[in-house]
Structure 1
Amino acid sequence: MTYPPSGPALREPGPDLSSAPVTVPAQRRGAPAVAVERLRAAATTEPGRLQIIGAALALLVVVFGAVTVLEVSGRASSAADVVTRSQPLSADAASIYRSLADADTMAASGFLAGAQEPKDVHEQYEKDIKEASRLLVKAAGSTDTSSSSHQEITTLGELLPEYTGLIERARANNRQGLPLGGAYLRYANQKMTNEILPAAERLYTAETHRLGTDSADARRWPFLSLAAGLVALAALVWMQRRNYRRTNRVFNHGLLAATAAATVVLLWLAVGHTVARAELHGAMVNGQQSLDVLNKARINSLKARANENLTLVARGAVLTPDGTKDQYETDYGTGMKALGAQLASAAKLAGDDSTGRAPVDAAATSVTEWQDRHKKARETDDQGDYDSALSQIIGPENSTGESFDEVDDALELALSHEQDQFDSAAADGRGALGGLPAGAAVLAVLGAVAAIVGVNRRLSEYR
């Protein structure tokens, strides 16, 4: 019988494991490292590469749609603000200014008429004050309480009752034949000229500036959307070319549909924004600029008319700082000079638009007639014939008042035409962006789905 040796058991030789790499369990590694490893492994096979490319294409198309929706929505909102908020507020601010200036003119005209103020003049004054008050309340509800516009509205709301109170005192004294009435009227005019109208002008300037800002925001090019669209379209074209070179198949219906969807969104974006930009630019240049000039022209005509009336009311009691000239006559001349310059600018802006130019030309003709009649009235007054001069200023026929009415009517017609021009162009600009955000979102989703379907069609060939 044979026994095994009693020494230590002999082990058969095996592989040396001292130098073998230690494998770290997957759960002990970070999720990003595992994802990168799996992605690297998938990229080594054609099916894996196709899955990655399909996901990337879908992501690019979705990002293109999302960026387009965000950018265009902002521009469409600004375009809507131009039509529904900024321009109406700017127009209301101009109407507030005009109503206040016209009220001051009517007050002076009624005072000149004597103790018995003409009914139509008084009614127009009351109408102007009510209109200004109504528009101030409307503007206050549409502006931020922290804005400069709201501060000006508050100032106007405080000063307007003071002005109307002075006018009522002037009327009361005038009915009694007391010369103190003229002093109250001049003081009211100074408050209107030095405090109220400057506040109204600042309000108009602020609202017009906001209109310009909203219009500029709406017209900014969506560069990020255009860039994202070009990248997505280039990736889709590259994928189709790659597919053709590997399979010799001309079309992949899914990829072709995705490319078509991206192309439609890109063209819609480019063309729609170009049209909107052109229309909004036209609204500002051909509409708002003309409105601004015409509003200022009408305001200057009202101020000139008020100063013309006050020249007869004051009878030389108010002089320029150097004491050599009548202050109201000097202000009248300054206002008429500005009116002439603004009418020339308005005619230039009207260009070949005969409908818009005709009332401007008519206003310019009436201004010339107004100046001639005013010169004759001043000569008559300087000769000491006050009653005849008064008739030449406020009389029903061949008076400066008649010429002023013709100027005012022509400017109102021109303003109405330019307002229609602005509204039409701005509405067209807003409409060009109207359906783009929703359309881009729908087409982007369809394009992403089509890209995935097209890639999956290719993947099915490996199963």
Structure 2
Amino acid sequence: MSVTAAILLAGLARPPAERETDTVSDLGGGQVAYPPSVLEERPPTRGGWAESKDRLRTATTTEPGRLWLIGAVVAPLVVAFGVMTSWQVADRAASADDVVRHSQPLSADAASIYRSLADADTAAAGGFLAGAQEPAEVHARYEKDIATASRLLVKAAANTDVSSDSGRQIARLNEQLPRYTGLIERARANNRQGLPLGGAYLRYANEQMTDELLPAAEKLYQAETARLGRDRSDARTWPFLALAVGVPALAVLVWAQLRDYRRTNRVFNRGLLAATAAAVVVLLWLVVGHAVARAELDSAHEHGQKSLKVLNEARISSLKARANENLTLVARGAVLTADGKDKYETDYAAGMKVLGERLEAAGKLADDGAGRGPVTEAVAKVKEWRERHGKARDTDDSGDYNGALKLVIGDKKSTGQSFDGVDAALERALAHEQREFTRAAEDGRGALTGLPAGAPALALLGAAAAGVGISRRLAEYR
């Protein structure tokens, strides 16, 4: 037997515990023996995350890997810019549309409700003064005012949440208006019979109008005007999130092209250039469009809404002053203030003071001849009204009631004619300012037209172009 064979047999003869081998379980549950050197040379197993990091680290050390990473950042960033722009501009466009279609018309309707109610009260007092046979035109004016107020209340209710402050005021008006008209009908019925009780019903109806209806209408107007202000503010807010994504996206695109130029000496990468152009267009469209929208909405507020508010207040003051002037003759000193003065004459004077102040403010806000002309005419008519009212009061105080009545509701040189002149001038001024507001607000809304749809479309094209540009560079390494 050779020496080598003897050594092998000696090794096999050793007990299993003394053999220099390691065992590993096989799939069948048995043991497979391997020399220690075999197991020591096997590399340790690593997790998937560690291997992914290694591959990423390896990719960033090669130019194809770096290009792939640039594409993976640029394309989603450009798409995110388009989506963010579309979302934020759509929100502001909706607010601008609300200004034009909802909040401003509702604010104007609320003012019309107030004017209609005040004018109905004025017409009712004027018809009562005319005697048992109320003039047909005065009665028709009253009926028209009540019908207008009722129609606008229905419209406002259809566009208002019942739980809101506006909804509560509308409900209050709908509840109180039938009571007021019922009192007016009782006043008319007693007046036709020549009963003094008619004057009491008329005064009670005026109190109902003054204490219940007009305050509710004023609160409705204030609530709708506040809603208009919120919509305008929402439409004016800059889309900061879109800008915060758009500026970095454009910066990354410019950097990618500069990097490409430094490494390849090629002036342009057409794909990246197209993506940059798309991003620039969206960014400029966003900034310029929103700036124009803000400017037009500000113009609508400064040159339209402010004037409308002052003119509405002026017209309401004139209506209340006219109603109090008529009631002065109806009550004939029966209703006094705490200091013993005629209540309705005192209220007339207060209303005329407010009217003068509002007309002065309206004149300052008017920015063109078409706006200043009616205001100037109204100021002249107010002066004439004051003079005629003074003559009527002097006539009444001298004991000539019929003469005073003629100076108040007569056909010629009466305070009624002056009031009608003021009301007509204010109506023309309001119509002009309403057109100014609507034009500017529509221009503001129009400045955002197309951007919510155009921004994501351009962004997708830009992302696709960036992908094509980078893929062509990658192809050069194959």
Letter in 2 for 1:339: L
Q: Tell me what 2:28 maps to.
A: none
Query: Any idea what the Cα deviations from partners look like across 1:219-268, whole Å, max 9, x if unmatched?
Result: 00111111211100000000000000000000000000000000000000
Task: Please state if 1:439 is matched with 2:454.
Answer: yes
Q: Tell me the SS of whatever aligns to 1:462.
A: coil
Q: Tell me what 2:178 maps to.
A: 161
1:407 is matched with which residue: 402, 422, 431? 422
Task: Please state if 1:367 is matched with 2:370.
Answer: no
Q: Tell me what 2:239 maps to.
A: 222
Q: After superposing the two structures, state which structure 1 stretch, 341-350 or 224-233, moved more.
A: 224-233
Q: Tell me what 1:110 maps to.
A: 127
Q: Structure 2: how far apart are the matches of 1:80 and 1:174?
A: 50
Q: Tell me what 1:338 maps to.
A: 354
Q: Tell me the SS of whatever aligns to 1:7.
A: helix
TM-score (norm 2): 0.93
Q: Structure 1: how far apart are the matches of 2:92 and 2:20?
A: 83
Q: Structure 2: how far apart are the matches of 1:105 and 1:131?
A: 15
TM-score (norm 1): 0.96
Query: Any idea what the Cα deviations from partners look like across 1:367-417, whole Å, max 9, x if unmatched?
Result: 010001001100010000001000000001100000000000000000000
2:440 is matched with which residue: 401, 407, 425? 425
Q: Structure 2: how far apart are the matches of 1:291 and 1:228?
A: 40
Q: After superposing the two structures, state which structure 1 stretch, 222-231 or 337-346, moved more.
A: 222-231
Q: Tell me what 1:269 maps to.
A: 286
Q: Structure 1: how far apart are the matches of 2:50 and 2:105?
A: 59
Q: Tell me the SS of whatever aligns to 2:161.
A: coil
Letter in 1 for 2:206: N
Q: Tell me the SS of whatever aligns to 2:10.
A: coil
Letter in 2 for 1:240: Q
* 74 and 36 in structure 1: CA distance in 2 versus 1, 3 angstrom threshold: farther
Q: After superposing the two structures, state which structure 1 stretch, 143-152 or 38-47, moved more.
A: 38-47
Q: Tell me what 1:389 maps to.
A: 404
Q: What does 1:7-86 align with in structure 2 at a 5 Å threshold? A: 7-8=10-11, 15=37, 18=40, 22-24=44-46, 29=48, 35-86=52-103
* 39 and 251 in structure 1: CA distance in 2 versus 1, 3 angstrom threshold: same
Shift of 1:44: 2.1
Task: Please state if 1:123 is matched with 2:145.
Answer: no
Letter in 2 for 1:272: G
Task: Please state if 1:459 is matched with 2:474.
Answer: yes
Query: Any idea what the Cα deviations from partners look like across 1:108-131, whole Å, max 9, x if unmatched?
Result: 000000000000000000000011
Shift of 1:49: 1.1
Q: Structure 1: how far apart are the matches of 2:323 and 2:146?
A: 16
Letter in 2 for 1:150: G
Letter in 1 for 2:10: G
Q: Tell me what 2:26 maps to.
A: none
RMSD of Structure 2 on Structure 1 (CA): 1.6
Q: Tell me what 2:29 maps to.
A: none
Q: What does 1:211-250 align with in structure 2 at a 5 Å threshold? A: 211-250=228-267
Q: Tell me what 1:291 maps to.
A: 308
Shift of 1:18: 4.6
Q: Tell me what 1:319 maps to.
A: 336
Q: Structure 1: how far apart are the matches of 2:412 and 2:57?
A: 96
Aligned residues: 456
Shift of 1:457: 1.1
Q: Structure 2: how far apart are the matches of 1:332 and 1:14?
A: 115
Q: Structure 1: how far apart are the matches of 2:104 and 2:280?
A: 35
Q: Structure 2: how far apart are the matches of 1:37 and 1:363?
A: 84
Letter in 1 for 2:177: L
For the pair shown, the structure with the greater C-alpha radius of gyration is 2
Q: Tell me what 2:25 maps to.
A: none
Shift of 1:161: 0.3
Q: Tell me the SS of whatever aligns to 2:11.
A: coil
Q: Tell me the SS of whatever aligns to 2:244.
A: helix
Q: Structure 1: how far apart are the matches of 2:338 and 2:438?
A: 45
* 327 and 35 in structure 1: CA distance in 2 versus 1, 3 angstrom threshold: farther
Shift of 1:17: 5.1
Task: Please state if 1:2 is matched with 2:2.
Answer: yes
Q: Structure 2: how far apart are the matches of 1:451 and 1:61?
A: 9
Q: Tell me what 2:227 maps to.
A: 210
Task: Please state if 1:94 is matched with 2:140.
Answer: no
Q: Structure 2: how far apart are the matches of 1:21 and 1:33?
A: 15
Query: Any idea what the Cα deviations from partners look like across 1:63-97, whole Å, max 9, x if unmatched?
Result: 11111011101000000000010011001100000
Q: After superposing the two structures, state which structure 1 stretch, 142-151 or 9-18, moved more.
A: 9-18
Task: Please state if 1:174 is matched with 2:191.
Answer: yes
Shift of 1:40: 2.5
